[in-house]
A and B are shown apart, each in its own frame.
Chain A
Amino acid sequence: MSLLEVTGVGVALAGTSLLNNVSLNVGRGQVVSVIGPNGAGKTTLLRAIANDLQPHCGMVELAGQVVASIEPRRRARQMAVLTQHNALDFSFTGFEVVSLARGPHSTGAAMDRRICREAMEAMDVAHLSERLYPTLSGGEQQRLQLARVLAQIWRAEDADGRLLLLDEPVTSLDIGHQHQLMRAIKTFAATGVAVLMTVHDMTLAAHYSDTVVVLNYGRCLASGRPEAVLTESLINDVFATQVSIVPHPQTGKPVIVGC
């Protein structure tokens, strides 16, 4: 059985249907990317899984338990969420922001400090420990927030089954940090974490994901291995554009080229 099981989820807000009968599974150690055009329902799907929105039908289960019924602190030890907007006007230091992640745990100050430091190293933000958050650039803030959500579910022994939800984690990063971050997520997943993220860059998604899910108009159009799902006809159709797909010279994974 998969760690995260989403079955037939539907979400409607103010009479508009945002998600319609969406099902997907993410297993331990698996990286799944959701792609789709703006307004396809990607963020809504993550919010429904994170229990920010109540689906009007269908079910979201984490390690065999309905997500909404898990006690909040325990849920926080099992599931970490990175949302798109993380406005913070107060002058916390980088390290303080990351260490907020250890709130739901009772692992002791020394262990918390070590975990935060390791998570910050994984995200290449160790040098921002003593800097004030509002003085950092958008990309640096994004990487700090990522280090925070990693620190929240860093150790396997703190929870039975860990899920990481990321809403566009690479959007404001430079290409070097995009790949560094994706590699870090991949390494993190290999420790037994299920990762579900939304990504706009399909080449990046194809390179690092085990499974790609295509969403449009709140419906799941396709899901499977990147090579199988990402075809020219599907992408042209979903995004109303013209793309070419060529194999990557070294890895053979699909590279999506516009026009």
Chain B
Amino acid sequence: MTASLRRLRPRVITAAALSLCLLASLVTAIALGAVPIAFGDILAALIGTPLDGFSGDIVRAIRLPRALLAAGVGAVLAVCGAYLQGMFRNPLADPSLIGVTAGASVGASAAIVLGGGVLGAVGDLSLVSLGAFAGGLVAVWLVYRVATGINGTSVATMLLMGIAVTALAASLTGLMDYFADNESLRRMSLWRMGGLDGATGARAVVMLAVLALLLISMMRVSRGLNTLLLGESQARHLGVDVERLKNLLIVLVALGVGVSVAVAGSIGFVGLVVPHMIRLCVGPDHRALVPLSALGGASLLLLADTFARTIMAPTELPVGLVTALIGAPFFVFLLARHRELIR
């Protein structure tokens, strides 16, 4: 597929604007907090120069891991949203709305109940991630199977399946709370309370590794996704191995959402809002949409997290509250605008 003329300028402008925005939000996220840190000190701390007081340690041990984690989670959720929307051929698909996030939470809880605390911090993180990945996988697969027939995806069925999966997930988590012993119950509630404030260097690295994997996979799936937007049989007639592409996408989305749920809890609507805004600027071509969504998602979650931890300081709001506050009205707006698409 060749880019048409009207797309080139917006792409360059959006890419430049989003890169600047990401850089600015990264600096803001590191500078703002209980102890304000000057711009010069941030640079000094990042290159390892010793500083007076605790500024250096605050930047390196607390703010930087958290900022990187927030950026990584935001980027991954936005990319997963773009993949889901392409796969469902529907701009209303979002990991939290169709139940993938809820499925991943059940998987994570199950991993904590069944095996938590025996493997140490790093082992626990990978076990919980694995559980969340498995839970997310089951959820996407289930929703996709039920909502998509030969005539495409039914938005109504997709959203209703999201409700069903989320309800099932809530009851399963409740059951686990009921049957868990004291130790696992404590661990589960700790994990559930944890959001980005549980950021560590290790979590940030895991999240950025998943992001790297998603961005590398982008080169394999983008062209296929563009063709898939024409329709499944149309894509098949254009030589796309549709089944393989869909299976790959399901695994990638489950991995991205699963790991982000494991390291940062449930954060909704990033995958809905960001790709939609990017599409308005540069069009639906996934070769531009996916990387730009990653930039946009990273900036959005960084800003939301900075807002969440500074607005009522020293109390921190859960960042999921902030994204839902932006995302839910946006979703209502989209529903009102796309009413004719909802069959």
Q: Do A and B come from one complex?
A: yes
Report if A250 contacts B (CB, 8 A): no
From known contacts A83-B234, A87-B231, A88-B230, infer whether A93 and B239 are also in contact, taking CB-CB under 8 Å. Answer: no
Report if A187 contacts B (CB, 8 A): no
**Are the CB atoms of A130 and B5 closer together than 8 Å?**
yes
Report if A14 contacts B (CB, 8 A): no
The minimal Cβ–Cβ distance linking A51 to chain B, given in whole angstroms, is 8
Report if A52 contacts B (CB, 8 A): yes
The minimal Cβ–Cβ distance linking A111 to chain B, given in whole angstroms, is 10
Closest B residue to A50 by beta carbon equals B237
Report if A186 contacts B (CB, 8 A): no
**Are the CB atoms of B238 and A103 closer together than 8 Å?**
yes
CB-contacts of A63-99 with B (<8 A): 72-77, 79-81, 83, 85-97, 99
Report if A152 contacts B (CB, 8 A): yes
**Are the CB atoms of A72 and B283 closer together than 8 Å?**
no
Pick from A77, A80, A92, A93: contact of B229, CB below 8 A: A92
Report if A104 contacts B (CB, 8 A): yes
Report if B145 contacts A (CB, 8 A): no
Chain B 169-190, CB-CB to A under 8 Å as 1, else 0, gives 0000000000000000000000
Closest B residue to A71 by beta carbon equals B239
**Are the CB atoms of A77 and B239 closer together than 8 Å?**
yes
The minimal Cβ–Cβ distance linking A94 to chain B, given in whole angstroms, is 8
- Give every chain B residue within 8 A of A104 (Cβ-Cβ): 238-239
Chain B 232-243, CB-CB to A under 8 Å as 1, else 0, gives 011011111100
- Give every chain B residue within 8 A of A85 (Cβ-Cβ): 151, 231
Pick from A86, A94, A102, A116: contact of B230, CB below 8 A: A86
**Are the CB atoms of A90 and B91 closer together than 8 Å?**
yes
Closest A residue to B239 by beta carbon equals A76
Report if B299 contacts A (CB, 8 A): no
- Give every chain A residue within 8 A of B4 (Cβ-Cβ): 93-96, 99, 129-130
The minimal Cβ–Cβ distance linking A187 to chain B, given in whole angstroms, is 22
A79, B234: Cα distance in complex, Å: 12
CB-contacts of A43-57 with B (<8 A): 50-52
A142, B285: Cα distance in complex, Å: 21
Closest A residue to B150 by beta carbon equals A52
- Give every chain A residue within 8 A of B198 (Cβ-Cβ): none
From known contacts A75-B239, A77-B239, A103-B223, infer whether A90 and B229 are also in contact, taking CB-CB under 8 Å. Answer: yes
A227, B198: Cα distance in complex, Å: 80
The minimal Cβ–Cβ distance linking A131 to chain B, given in whole angstroms, is 9
Closest B residue to A132 by beta carbon equals B283
A80, B226: Cα distance in complex, Å: 17
Closest A residue to B3 by beta carbon equals A96
The minimal Cβ–Cβ distance linking B50 to chain A, given in whole angstroms, is 52
The minimal Cβ–Cβ distance linking B76 to chain A, given in whole angstroms, is 22
A94, B284: Cα distance in complex, Å: 13
The minimal Cβ–Cβ distance linking B156 to chain A, given in whole angstroms, is 15
The minimal Cβ–Cβ distance linking A226 to chain B, given in whole angstroms, is 28
Report if A101 contacts B (CB, 8 A): yes
A86, B6: Cα distance in complex, Å: 24
Report if B341 contacts A (CB, 8 A): yes
Residues of A within 8 A of B (CB): 50-52, 72-77, 79-81, 83, 85-97, 99-104, 109, 112-113, 116, 129-130, 152
Q: List 15 A-B contacts (CB under 8 A).
A: A50-B233, A81-B234, A83-B234, A83-B237, A88-B229, A91-B279, A91-B283, A92-B283, A99-B1, A99-B2, A100-B227, A103-B226, A104-B239, A116-B2, A152-B238
Residues of B within 8 A of A (CB): 1-7, 89-91, 151-152, 223, 226-227, 229-231, 233-234, 236-241, 279, 283-285, 341
Q: A99-B1, A130-B5 given; name 19 further pairs at CB < 8 Å.
A: A50-B233, A51-B236, A72-B236, A74-B239, A77-B239, A79-B237, A83-B231, A85-B151, A87-B152, A87-B231, A89-B90, A91-B279, A93-B283, A95-B4, A99-B2, A100-B230, A102-B1, A103-B227, A103-B238
